[in-house]
Structure 1
């Protein structure tokens, strides 16, 4: 292998922002509670995905009923036949994201009201067993027993990673049913994304409702109202039926606190002193939801987060008129432009949730891969040769993402058994960084190739490679440098 001249890497990010931006790539339940705006980034990433826009080609066409009902039914029928709830019995926590512990997660984040709230809820659920509504929804006596945690220390909890649409679709490669999959929050945001993009409903009429800690649902404020719970969506009339699915919805409406209401361009959270949903839109939503619940024979609780004693701070960035957006690519261009103009905005965060390589801080992907790749510890690879062989030859060469300009994390490559040269390079980097923590590797990207530079040696993840292309990106968890700020013709 040839040697390569190296710059000194240093990131501009402080540790708080590193955790926040890293969280856009993993989207665990805790991360979404600590940083509520990450769900909006996930929502935008769904809407930017060509995978969502392709639904239009296969939506079942319905006849009869109002235009609103027809479009809702078309989206529901497609989603019901394409996805299932992610419930994987073979994993502790029933989720392939693995387990973590309360103390490790607590140490990651700065103190905040929403952090205090979620960690108190987690202690109530897993340490004290006092979440009666969640136990009722799961129809169990013990939440810990339901999640297969009885043989683990009490502080161990599921990571509950959530998914954008492309990762949800990837489950079809490993599920027995051949369907995509996601948890309640992912399914709720998928419904919300489809209602805006495919249903062409105004974004002000689509809200994601967080009945914390038990459930997440999506509400459409059209007609008499529609409430989506997991794969199903209920009109007020269908909510009157008595079955296991309507009982979940009614239990949330009647017994659980509506702690967080989210629109794509606005939030209200019971733990935060400010809100950004227009007061008129919020009042209209609550009135509509109350009438919907009453029509469905549900008696809504009084525990809905209120704007009273909170300060209204308008959404600080431009909004998007989705009615004028005609393709995934045009929406990507809008979000990309706003991300560059407004650092730290939900548009900026959405680029990382979308896993775009062309971002200001690509070191975030290395930081996440190095610190959040739980699956690599189980591989038992001891030598550099074994790691290189694994990265080169273990997987299918396609990816969970339809473009090589997006990157999958190592745990996703291992779980779904597929990865581009970009994905494999990040996997090899994580393997080396964890095995040799005092010799952190570098990721080296050219236009068509990806390498890992370790201990002065350039390791190719592609079986056929050449060293004539100029480097356009070099990074690791410490920072990144891009052409033209870097001597790209640095192979020697």
Structure 2
């Protein structure tokens, strides 16, 4: 995370990654997982899900408060397991698409991308050696073509939008996830359901797989993605099962190449021994994980024995305490917005872009994220005129907002993927198509404008303004401005 971005373009690029965190972005900057957790807290959908889990727990233990509280995290993990569908790599490649690795390297830097690729290859080679590399997991044919499945990490509203890819399935799940989504979703639900402090949430991870470790009042849980989760009793039972060779082997069978430990407080990169997690918090985790797993995990022990270099924490622990007393999505938005104002470019600030809030100081981050889109660039290659761009937008049959509300902005790739969008979503698509087209005049692009008001969206190009609700020309846009984008927004 570049919290002290030196130039406007660096700041926009950092915020654009927060607006659309994906596998390689998060591999390079693991604190994007914290950004996703914070963004989830601001979603009404998360709080509605919390209420459903609480209702389920009350129905199961109607007159037994102590049992309900003791089992609520397991109830939550079971609910997520039952109501969300996991998307495997080749399913993702088929449904969402692939991106060229050369393009990813150019945008994010070859060193960080290749480091992540090495870890991913190790993970899948290991699965192959164990006889566990099913066709749905076999990414090697895609890699050999110089491509990689598009793994975007999403807020809960993005996970719900993914349901559209399931067609007319009779019993649709609440959302479609990959392991990083499951880690951030279960972490934030644990916070608002069971009062598990953000300071007590840790992700044990590698770029190929994310897992969640939670603790509260002596209780500990490990969620190894869907469908496997453990409390202390079920973990000990697993390690004592016939054929088991102990806790270290049981852990390594699930996460053989543990590479990082991620907390809202910071990240420990195990290979380098560099930690922005403060020493007291890291020591506490080591004690808690040893008590849960029954051993000090080998790779963590090697890192500690080699010596940890402690860096400046990513976040102040006192700020996390404000997140442990939230009453709902609006309260979360207010608390996070206040912290963002006091700490520009922090994870709090980035969370507002991750939730796709219209009222942000640097909306050019959304335009930058839009122009990175693989589907957007493919569509723009066929745009040679204003009419061509409008025609692409006109093919989007759906009118529902991708993220469920008009004050949340969907990216063009999402509109093209899900074939829906309200005037706000379609407005960014149209404007991005114009700027991404190689056939259109650069001077005209410089004078183009996207204007989102409190009730309509307008795009101006070649001296003409259209209303995105109807794709019809208008003379005078009306309404209070919420967001204005021009090409210059990419650098300011």
Q: Give me the TM-score of the superposition, normalised by structure 1.
A: 0.81
> Any conservation in 1 of the 2:339–2:349 contact (CA below 8 Å)?
yes
1:119 matched to 2:128? The reply is: no
> Any conservation in 2 of the 1:229–1:249 contact (CA below 8 Å)?
no
Q: In terms of mean alpha carbon deviation, does 47-56 or 60-69 score higher?
A: 60-69
Determine helix, strand or coil for the equivalent of 1:207.
strand
**Residue number in structure 1 paired with 2:196:** 201
**Residue number in structure 2 paired with 1:350:** 351
> Any conservation in 1 of the 2:415–2:429 contact (CA below 8 Å)?
yes
Cα separation, partners in 2 of 1:153 and 1:162, compared to 1, 3 Å? same
Q: In terms of mean alpha carbon deviation, does 246-255 or 304-313 score higher?
A: 246-255
State the 1:356 CA deviation.
0.7
**Residue number in structure 2 paired with 1:442:** 449
1:229 matched to 2:224? The reply is: yes
State the 1:386 CA deviation.
4.2
Counterpart Cα distance in 1 of 2:276 and 2:118: 29
> Any conservation in 1 of the 2:323–2:335 contact (CA below 8 Å)?
no
Counterpart Cα distance in 2 of 1:54 and 1:384: 42
State the 1:220 CA deviation.
1.1
**Residue number in structure 1 paired with 2:211:** 217
CA RMSD of aligned residues (A): 3.5
> Any conservation in 2 of the 1:88–1:96 contact (CA below 8 Å)?
no
State the 1:41 CA deviation.
0.9
**Residue number in structure 2 paired with 1:19:** 13
1:384 matched to 2:386? The reply is: yes
**Residue number in structure 2 paired with 1:334:** 335
Cα separation, partners in 2 of 1:434 and 1:159, compared to 1, 3 Å? same
**Residue number in structure 2 paired with 1:490:** none
> Any conservation in 2 of the 1:254–1:300 contact (CA below 8 Å)?
no
State the 1:459 CA deviation.
2.5
Cα separation, partners in 2 of 1:396 and 1:138, compared to 1, 3 Å? farther
**Residue number in structure 1 paired with 2:298:** 301
State the 1:260 CA deviation.
1.7
> Any conservation in 2 of the 1:34–1:118 contact (CA below 8 Å)?
yes
Counterpart Cα distance in 2 of 1:86 and 1:364: 28
What stretches of structure 1 move > 6 A for 4+ residues in a row?
246-249
Superposed counterparts of 1:246-285, under 5 Å: 250-252=250-252, 256-270=256-270, 274-285=274-285
**Residue number in structure 2 paired with 1:108:** 107
State the 1:361 CA deviation.
0.7
Cα separation, partners in 2 of 1:224 and 1:339, compared to 1, 3 Å? closer
Counterpart Cα distance in 2 of 1:58 and 1:309: 42
State the 1:199 CA deviation.
1.8
> Any conservation in 1 of the 2:423–2:468 contact (CA below 8 Å)?
yes
State the 1:470 CA deviation.
5.0
**Residue number in structure 2 paired with 1:311:** 310
**Residue number in structure 1 paired with 2:78:** 77
Superposed counterparts of 1:231-246, under 5 Å: 231-232=226-227, 233-239=229-235, 240-241=237-238
**Residue number in structure 2 paired with 1:146:** 138
**Residue number in structure 1 paired with 2:155:** 164
Counterpart Cα distance in 1 of 2:248 and 2:153: 20
Counterpart Cα distance in 2 of 1:268 and 1:172: 34
Counterpart Cα distance in 1 of 2:328 and 2:357: 18
State the 1:197 CA deviation.
1.3
1:469 matched to 2:478? The reply is: yes
- For this pair of structures, how many residues does the alignment match? 456
> Any conservation in 2 of the 1:267–1:277 contact (CA below 8 Å)?
yes
| C-alpha distance after superposition, 1:375-395 (max 9, x if no partner) | 561585655334324424623
| C-alpha distance after superposition, 1:411-431 (max 9, x if no partner) | 111222221211000111122
> Any conservation in 1 of the 2:261–2:270 contact (CA below 8 Å)?
no
Q: In terms of mean alpha carbon deviation, does 368-377 or 305-314 score higher?
A: 305-314
1:173 matched to 2:164? The reply is: yes
Counterpart Cα distance in 2 of 1:202 and 1:349: 20
Structure 2 unmatched ranges of 5 or more? none
State the 1:481 CA deviation.
11
Counterpart Cα distance in 2 of 1:352 and 1:122: 27
Determine helix, strand or coil for the equivalent of 2:185.
helix
Counterpart Cα distance in 2 of 1:293 and 1:450: 54
State the 1:153 CA deviation.
4.6
Q: Give me the TM-score of the superposition, normalised by structure 2.
A: 0.81
> Any conservation in 1 of the 2:396–2:421 contact (CA below 8 Å)?
no
| C-alpha distance after superposition, 1:360-409 (max 9, x if no partner) | 11011112212324256158565533432442462322213233221000
Determine helix, strand or coil for the equivalent of 1:355.
coil
**Residue number in structure 2 paired with 1:8:** none
Counterpart Cα distance in 2 of 1:89 and 1:319: 37
State the 1:345 CA deviation.
0.8
Cα separation, partners in 2 of 1:252 and 1:15, compared to 1, 3 Å? farther
Counterpart Cα distance in 2 of 1:372 and 1:308: 41
